[in-house]
Amino acid sequence: MGDIILLVIIVFVSVVLHEIAHGWAAYLLGDPTARMAGRLTLNPLKHIDPLGTFLVPALLKLMGFSPIGWAKPVPVNFSNLRVPKRDMLWVALAGPAANIGIALLSSVLLRFAPGPFFRDLLSVVILLNLLLAAFNLVPVPPLDGSRIVMGLLPMRWMRRYAQLEPIGLLIVFAGLNLGLLDFLWAGVVRWGLKLGVNVSAI
């Protein structure tokens, strides 16, 4: 039970930092919406979505499915960005970049970890953050990968692509439970091993 609670805490903190990174990127590119809403904060209460953070993943787990959940997304008004279509791409990249940054920093700390507990803890942080980055880069709306694709597509195609968003979570859910996204974990393990993690820690 303690291991599960620790995993949940690591995932939640990592997701919060992911969302804050989106908000800061938007702020630096001209949109103060997240800052004005008080969302550029480490206060976890500001980032909890009762449905996505607790209810949905718990119900899916109880039903035997791969759980999927989310924190409350930071609000971004893309029209406030200096170059909306281009800057949307950078705002989207900021979240996965934050998770990759956490993984790289943790890999440095891993070299100096004083014992098995801290080595395993940092290994879990690295693997989960690499997984969050990889998962969010999947190009299915509303994941970050879709925003990156939208920033690269011509406007006409972008609008058509964005129409997938109402069924995007269903596509992701199906992909998780049909094994179509298993390649993400395989890639994360390969990169994790290069960073010196203990894969069996998770």
Active site residues: 19
- Interatomic CA distance for residues 111 and 129, integer angstroms: 18
SS3 content of the chain, % helix, strand, coil (to 5): 70, 0, 30
Other residues' Cβ atoms within 10 Å of the Cβ of residue 26: 27
**One-letter identity of residue 131:** L
As given in the structure block, the two tokens for residue 78 are: 């893309």
Give the integer Cα–Cα distance in Å for 27 and 36: 10
Q: What is the DSSP string of 149-194?
A: HHHHS-HHHHHHHHTTHHHHHHHHHHHHHTTTTHHHHHHHHHHHHH
In degrees, rounded to 5, the angle at the alpha carbon of residue 96 between the alpha carbons of residues 181 and 115 is: 90
- 142: preceding bond cis by omega (within 30 degrees): yes
